[in-house]
Amino acid sequence: MNNSILIIGATSDVARSCAYIYAQKQHNLVLAGRKPDELQVLAKDITIRYDVSCDYLKVDLMDIGSHTKAIDSLAEIPDTTLCFAGYLGNHELAIKDWREAERIIQTNYSGVVSFINLIANHYEAQGQGSIAVLSSVAGERGRQSNYLYGSAKAGLTAYLSGLRNRLASKGVHVVSVIPGFIDTRMTEGLDLPKPLTASPQQVATAVFKAVKKKKNVVYVLWMWRFIMLIIKLIPESIFKRLKL
Ligand SMILES: NC(=O)c1ccc[n+]([C@@H]2O[C@H](COP(=O)([O-])OP(=O)(O)OC[C@H]3O[C@@H](n4cnc5c(N)ncnc54)[C@H](OP(=O)(O)O)[C@@H]3O)[C@@H](O)[C@H]2O)c1
């Protein structure tokens, strides 16, 4: 075990919180994302505060052809990979403009799958490793207000379930993190119900514990598991008439 953590989407509010949790516990980090300048500042702050090694790696999930090269550029692949990348997008625009729909699908599904496939194959070969990926309750049932984002997350949730099933006997742990609302840049300006909204710190702590305890599926705030159970039980003949 090399005790280090690869964080994809490291500029996310939740990822930053998680990076600090791991650094505090003396794990070395590799911060991956699209903005090297921001990652460099974050990496420097973490190194100064916690005296751990913290590197950064340029990764654009939309640029699928670059993923192998990005991973190959690492001196050593960390034993734990956490993915916080995602893009809510503009649903109204996406139903009219394929470019926005593609960005939603690629950032939340195919880009993540491409990158995690490479990591998963490496972990399988070495017979160890942990993968945690943030999906969303939006993937549990399609709603008219965000079914493009929701369908990409639904695909991601199914992918993670299959990956866990494939790698469980190979010593590789895969956890699906399925949060409800989180108070972050992604939901800025939205009127979120407070009791159903987690803070980035709450989600980051849930990810840390889920990896440590080798959980399979985590909903972060417990009530979301029940809310989604009820939502999934609504008959389609009623559900299609709801303004959701
Ligand atoms: N906020 C919520 O209510 C909520 C609810 C359920 C699930 N989630 C999921 O939780 C995760 C974290 O979201 P958040 O709320 O912390 O959102 P956020 O602050 O907007 O973070 C999204 C992250 O994804 C990165 N990203 C976007 N496009 C990318 C690309 N092409 N390549 C690489 N990275 C890319 C962003 O990087 P840049 O800084 O470069 O844009 C950012 O680091 C996401 O998977 C999200 O879907 C969020």
Ordered structural domains, the chain, with CATH: 4-239 (3.40.50.720)
pLDDT digits (tens, 9 = 90+) for 92-150: 999 999 999 999 999 999 999 999 999 999 999 999 999 999 999 999 999 999 999 99
**What does R_g of the chain's alpha carbons equal in angstroms?**
18
The backbone torsions φ and ψ at residue 31, rounded to the nearest 5 degrees and listed phi first, read: -95, 120
- Residue 140 CB less than 6 A away from ligand 1: no
Find out whether 75 and 51 touch, Cβ atoms under 8 Å: no
Residue 156 has pLDDT above 90, yes or no: yes
pLDDT digits (tens, 9 = 90+) for 173-218: 999 999 999 999 999 999 999 999 999 999 999 999 999 999 999 9
In the sheet with 80-83, reading across from the earlier edge strand, the strands are 54-58, 28-33, 4-8, 80-83, 129-134, 172-177, 217-218
- Residue 210 CB less than 6 A away from ligand 1: no
pLDDT digits (tens, 9 = 90+) for 2-57: 889 999 999 999 999 999 999 999 999 999 999 999 999 999 999 999 999 999 99
The pLDDT value recorded for residue 129 is 98
Q: How far is the CA of 13 from the centre of ligand 1 (A)?
A: 8
Q: How far is the CA of 8 from the centre of ligand 1 (A)?
A: 10
Residue listed under structure tokens 């052809």: 65
| Burial classification of residue 83, based on how many CB atoms lie within 10 Å of its CB (0-12 exposed, 13-18 middle, 19 or more buried) | buried
Q: What is the C-alpha separation between 110 and 63, in angstroms, rounded?
A: 10
Residue listed under structure tokens 């690629």: 106
143: tokens are 């709603």
- Residue 89 CB less than 6 A away from ligand 1: no
- Residue 34 CB less than 6 A away from ligand 1: yes
Q: How far is the CA of 169 from the centre of ligand 1 (A)?
A: 30
- Residue 185 CB less than 6 A away from ligand 1: yes
Q: What is the C-alpha separation between 87 and 236, in angstroms, rounded?
A: 27
Q: Which residues sit opposite 131 in a β-bridge?
A: 81, 174
Find out whether 140 and 146 touch, Cβ atoms under 8 Å: no
Q: Is 51 left (phi over 0), alpha (psi -120 to 50) or beta?
A: left
Ligand 1: atom nearest CA of 149 is: 47
SS3 127: coil
DSSP letter (8 states) at residue 76: S
